[in-house]
Amino acid sequence: MPTINITYKVPSANASEVEDALQAHAEHMRVSYTTDNPRGDNPLDAYFTKAEELNNPTNPADGTTGNIIFTLNEKWSEAEHIQAHIGRTLKASHAEKFIAAMQAYGTVSVMGEIFYDMNG
């Protein structure tokens, strides 16, 4: 399955601007991919995450870095659906702040394939 996965590493003081951009993208997805979408190109799954970055991922007791890590994760049935989604996103009202957040804080941006899924 083709995917989009983007990771953002953001200083805590700037986290709200990235969270706002991701919330706007979430709303764009809610409106664009309704259950009765006649295009038939809804993502199979989509979720965004937020967590404090740990100094030592193997020992949370070592505290945090002061950064927030956000991830955007979308699973699609066809690569063409991703391309169409990107096109719709670039025309959406939130596009400018979404792209700005990615350019300023995006550390990893992958359009790849799932190689393991515990659900099948």
Specify whether the CB–CB gap between 79 and 2 falls below 8 A: yes
Domain count, the chain: 1
The phi, psi pair for 42, rounded to 5°, reads -65, 145
What mean pLDDT comes out for the span 9-14?
98
10 in a structural domain: yes
Looking at the predicted structure, is the pLDDT value of residue 120 above 80? no
21 within a domain of the structure (yes/no): yes
What mean pLDDT, rounded, does the chain reach? 96
Domain assignment present for 120: no
Residue 118 lies in a domain: no
> Residue 34 is part of a domain; what is its CATH number?
3.30.70.100
The whole-number pLDDT of residue 32 equals 96
pLDDT digits (tens, 9 = 90+) for 37-78: 999 999 999 999 999 999 999 999 999 999 999 999 999 999
Within a domain: 61: yes
pTM above 0.75, yes or no: yes
* Enclosing domain of residue 97: 2-113
Model pLDDT, residue 9: 98
Kind and range of the H or E run holding 18: helix 15-32
